[in-house]
Amino acid sequence: MKILVTGFDPFGTDKINPAIEAVKKLPDEIKSAEIIKLEIPTVFNKSAEIVKKAIEKENPDYVLNVGQAGGRYGITCERVAININDGRIPDNEGYQPLGEPIHEDGEAAYFTQLPIKAQVKAIRKAGLPASVSNTAGTYVCNHIMYQVQYMRDKKFPNIKAGFIHIPFLPQQVVNRPNTPSMALADIIKGLTAAISAIVECDGKGDIKTVEGANH
């Protein structure tokens, strides 16, 4: 089994992004699955082009995109991506779409194929806060999740894909009072647990438990 895991580069006022920092330090193999690591830019459309080339090159069984969700205290596995780009700030190339569809011929929303409840349960078992999230936002995180689902719908039907949001690192909240954070080692531990759950649930489907947030 081969799993492509992507992480975004820093954006906005931050000089570091826990997503790529954690992805770079993941094991090369988890539960006998080969882990392919890829840095992608926090840029609408370009991020999707880079992921598409990686899918064509690597032919992975799974694609897991990882992104920063500043303000969330736990690791959150996303259930759904919606067909809209609505940037609260410009991306790293200065583009700021406001309420634009990602693809005119795409579905209004796509649901993940990943075992998100099993992933959340595995992260909690590892001793870290986690929950299922029902909103990936409308910035580049939702964008890449939607784009990969669109690729699956139109060109790569055999892949399964999804998205995980992670909190700020401690050094990112020094000047952000009352904002939660998580140590890099713990983020890596959580992602490793989540990927292990993907491997263990392969061909079996997700578990049926209550692991989600209310919104």
> What stretches of the chain adopt beta strand conformation (E)?
2-8, 29-30, 33-40, 62-68, 75-78, 80-82, 85-86, 98-100, 109-111, 130-133, 160-166
For 28, other C-beta atoms within 10 Å of its C-beta total: 8
Tokens of 171: 């050094």
161 contacts 115 by C-beta, under 8 angstroms: no
Q: What is the pLDDT of residue 212?
A: 73
Distance CA 30, CA 199 (A): 8
Q: Read off the pTM.
A: 0.96
8 contacts 68 by C-beta, under 8 angstroms: yes
- The catalytically annotated residue of 141, 143, 201, 211 is 141
CATH of 2-201, one of 3.90.110.10, 3.40.630.20, 3.30.9.10, 1.10.287.110: 3.40.630.20
Q: What is the pLDDT of residue 208?
A: 93
* 143 carries an active-site annotation: no
* 78 carries an active-site annotation: yes
Longest pairwise C-alpha distance within the chain: 45
Kindly tell me the burial class for residue 32, based on how many C-beta atoms sit within 10 Å of its own C-beta (0-12, 13-18, 19 or more).
exposed
Length of the chain: 215
Q: What is the pLDDT of residue 130?
A: 98
Give the helix ranges, DSSP H, for the chain.
18-24, 46-58, 116-125, 140-154, 184-201
Q: What is the pLDDT of residue 215?
A: 60
* 39 carries an active-site annotation: no
Taking the CA of residue 98 as centre, how many other CA atoms within 13 Å lie in the half-sphere pointing to its CB?
Answer: 2
Buried/exposed 103-131: b ≥16 CB within 10 Å, e otherwise: eeebeeebebbbbbbbbbbbbbebebbbb
**Strand, coil or helix: what is 125?**
helix
Per-residue pLDDT of the chain (215 residues; tens, 9 = 90+): 999 999 999 999 999 999 999 999 999 999 999 999 999 999 999 999 999 999 999 999 999 999 999 999 999 999 999 999 999 999 999 999 999 999 999 999 999 999 999 999 999 999 999 999 999 999 999 999 999 999 999 999 999 999 999 999 999 999 999 999 999 999 999 999 999 999 999 999 999 988 877 66
Distance CA 162, CA 113 (A): 7
Q: Domain boundaries in the chain?
A: 2-201
- The catalytically annotated residue of 77, 143, 165, 201 is 165
Distance CA 8, CA 20 (A): 5
